[in-house]
Amino acid sequence: MAGDDEPIADGEAAAESDDESVVESDGETAVEPDNETAVEPDGESLEENVGQRFDRLPATAAERRVEGRATREEVVDYFADRFGIPAETFEEYTFWEKGAGKIWIYAGEAPSPIEIEAIGMTCLRTRQEHWKPTTDFVQRFGRRATDCVIELSREEARAFIDGQDQDLEWNGDWGYLIAAHEIGVGSEGRPGRDGEAVEGAALEPLGVGLYVHGELQSVVPKGRQRSVSDRR
């Protein structure tokens, strides 16, 4: 698992550009006329959510041009308010939407809009009643969380990553939680492997769980689940 501060890169990002400008095909920047809709050379409006296109999230609601699109401020505030992840964690990152509510996080700048397969990694699902962080995001940034983190025992952690739902006690808020398990760490603060000497312990985020009515539901994607019931 990569460290929190390592850059997210996919090799497809281009140079930085002004989010509020429309860049024409000849490379010159055109000033957007008042009371007119900005249109890309292919005829797609910048005020529409295009499923196959990445659009950078607006900084604030005042800059929002696509109805229902989350803003950078709202995303950062969500991670801070829900999980206690400091806002400064994301100072060097940009946030993007592709499709309906699939938010991506990228360590760097890129022109917006941009049509590529991926940029960084998915981090959040919006455009639904309760926003949901992704497994990748939690495993990458979850160590910085101080709230809504449920600590699992060894057996509970095994059941969780196996995709099992469990009746567990939890005195915090219901909803999406970060499921974590305490593991041994070595002198450099990294998780130790089986058989290695360790000097301490730290909570390692496993994934996202949904806690309702006394039950922790594992929402680890099926492709990421693995059975460890036969391991010791």
Nearest of 90, 96, 93 to residue 112 by alpha carbon: 96
| DSSP state string for the chain | ---TTSPP--S-------TTSEE-TTSPEEPPPTTS--B-TTS-BTTS--TT-BEEPPSSGGG--STT---HHHHHHHHHHHH---GGGGTT-EEEE-SSSEEEEESS---SSB--S-SSEEEEE-SSSS-EE-HHHHHHHGGG--SSEEEE-HHHHHHHHTT--EE----S-SEEEEEEEEEEE-TTSPBPPTT---SEEEEEEEEEEEEETTEEEE---GGG----TT--
CA dist., res. 228 & res. 92, Å (int):
37
- Residue 48 clears pLDDT 80, i.e. is over it: no
Residue 193's pLDDT is 54
pLDDT above 90 coverage of the chain, percent:
62
Residue 200's pLDDT is 53
Residue 33's pLDDT is 36
* pLDDT tier, 198 (very low <50, low <70, confident <90, very high otherwise): very low
CA distances from 215 to 26, 125, 174, 212 (A): 57, 22, 10, 5
pLDDT above 70 coverage of the chain, percent:
69
Domain ranges of the chain: 22-143, 148-224
Q: Which residues pair with 149 in a beta bridge?
A: 178
Task: Give the model confidence (pLDDT) of 74-118 as tens digits.
Answer: 999 999 999 999 999 999 999 999 999 999 999 999 999 999 999
Q: Which residue has the higher pLDDT, 2 or 48?
A: 48
> Any idea which fold 148-224 has?
2.30.130
19 torsion bin: left (phi>0), alpha (psi -120 to 50), beta (else): alpha
- Reading the block at residue 43, the tokens are 């005829």
Strands across the sheet with 166-167, in order?
Answer: 149-152, 175-185, 200-212, 215-218, 166-167
* pLDDT tier, 32 (very low <50, low <70, confident <90, very high otherwise): very low
CA 35 to chain centre: 34
Q: Which amino acid is at 2?
A: A
Task: Give the model confidence (pLDDT) of 167-197 as tens digits.
Answer: 999 999 999 999 999 986 555 555 555 445 4
- Reading the block at residue 106, the tokens are 């990228």
- Residue 228 clears pLDDT 80, i.e. is over it: no
CA distances from 210 to 13, 96, 108, 148 (A): 34, 25, 31, 11
